[in-house]
Chain A
Amino acid sequence: MSSIPQQAGSLTLEDVRTLLHAVADPEIPVLSIMDLGIVRDVVLEPDGVEVHVSPTYTGCPATEVIEQMIVSKLQRNGVERVTIKRVLSPPWTTEWLSETGRQKLRRYGIAPPEHAAGKRSLLGRSAVHCPRCSTERTTQVSEFGSTPCKASYKCDECLEPFEYFKCI
């Protein structure tokens, strides 16, 4: 049995992860793909790296762009062969969004998903806090928004419109 490689080219697993932290979501550029929780695994192979990625929504147009960004990021840093494996199961959930990711979203003006995602919370209505003034007094304008992952809201205190990263 061959041993698991410790490096891909001159990069260690930690180096690869650091590089992936610098790959931004093309639609919400403040978030890295690591913050988003869509990178499920990184596997070093004798001649390259295999990255396991979960799409957020089946039709999300960003999925392919993200995959290309991963490939070019790693190749530019000396990894010869980058393979992307799409992982559908278990399906991606907003629970996988990191705490740093949530803070970044809020600072960017998008309300992060309320915790305890899953079957129930997607269908129930939990209070959505305004990302600017934190009040719970907000109104849903539309269950849909500019990308599949967002809904549109407005704040009843500071009156600013904002987007909500919906729970799924």
Chain B
Amino acid sequence: MALRTFSAMDSNDARFNYVLRLGDNALVLGQRLSELVTRAPELEEELATANFALDYIGQARLFYSYAGELEARGRGEDDFAYLRDEREFRNLLLVEQPNGHFGDTIVRQFLFESFYVLQLEALTDCSDARIAEVAARAVKEIRYHLRHVSQWLVRLGDGTAESHARVQQSLDDQWRFTGEMFAGDEVDETFRLNWNGPQLEQLEADWSSRVDAVLAEATLTRPPAQWMAGGGRQGRHSEHLGYLVAEMQFLQRAYPGARW
């Protein structure tokens, strides 16, 4: 394995960025999922995705509030959500991908949540008490989601020839976004060293074996090792995020300071 070297980083700055990334993943995925309200393929799945979205937005609020306290420059949850430009968002490329068809949504959810549940489990042991307690709350919600999306993945993969082919295509299309979850940088490394944060190599190994087990049950083929897209966590996004942010922020941009 290649040795990676990172430049030294101020540890508080690293912690702020780590929490902001957690908040951005949650907010962007929550916003994506809420787009499915009134247009999911069936009522039960609409309830499910709306519930997922609600959990994610709740988690984003907890992470943003804490990020604001760490930054200590007077920014709060609304500032992070509504008053940053696209390139200031630090989420994974995977979570900003469009909902596509139902199989695309399920695959995106499955690949991300298989990672997120492990990340949260590891964070319950980190030495920042605030992050640990949010993670302990959030992990219960994500386990419930993951069970649901895993069942769907099996149902679609091991379903008809049509559903199998389409969900295999969804998997092949989105696989290139999975590498970014484990491509650590100085933020991860500094957070790990100072607050007993997750070991990315360990998360990757656990993720890989869990994903393989569900794919096998779903009769799906794991895509081959390939070039991986990255950059979302540094603010370089796919073209899809700008549209999402524009819709999400419209009201605050058009009527600055508007309140309920």
A87-107 contacts to B (CB < 8 Å) = 88-92
A148 close to B (CB within 8 Å): yes
- Per-position 1/0 for B28-69, Cβ under 8 A of A: 000000000000000110011011011111110110000000
* A57-B54, A59-B58 given; A145·B141 CB < 8 A: no
Residues in B whose Cβ lies below 8 Å from that of A168: 140-141, 144
Contact check: which of B43, B55, B132, B143 meets A58 at CB < 8 Å? B55
Report the interface size class on chain A: 20 to 34
In the assembled complex, how far is the CB of residue A149 from the closest CB belonging to chain B, in whole angstroms?
10
In the assembled complex, how far is the CB of residue B175 from the closest CB belonging to chain A, in whole angstroms?
26
Q: Are A123 and B147 in contact (CB under 8 A)?
A: yes
In the assembled complex, how far is the CB of residue B152 from the closest CB belonging to chain A, in whole angstroms?
11
In the assembled complex, how far is the CB of residue B80 from the closest CB belonging to chain A, in whole angstroms?
16
Residues in A whose Cβ lies below 8 Å from that of B137: 55, 58, 88-89, 91-92
A-B contact count (CB 8 A): 76
CA gap between A91 and B143 in the complex, in Å: 14
Interface size of B by CB at 8 A reads 28
Report which B residues bind A (CB closer than 8 A): 43-44, 47-48, 50-51, 53-59, 61-62, 129, 132-134, 136-138, 140-141, 143-144, 147-148
- Extra inter-chain contacts (14) besides given A59-B53, A92-B137, A142-B43, CB under 8 Å: A57-B58, A57-B141, A58-B61, A58-B62, A58-B137, A59-B58, A88-B133, A88-B137, A119-B143, A122-B140, A123-B144, A143-B148, A145-B47, A152-B47
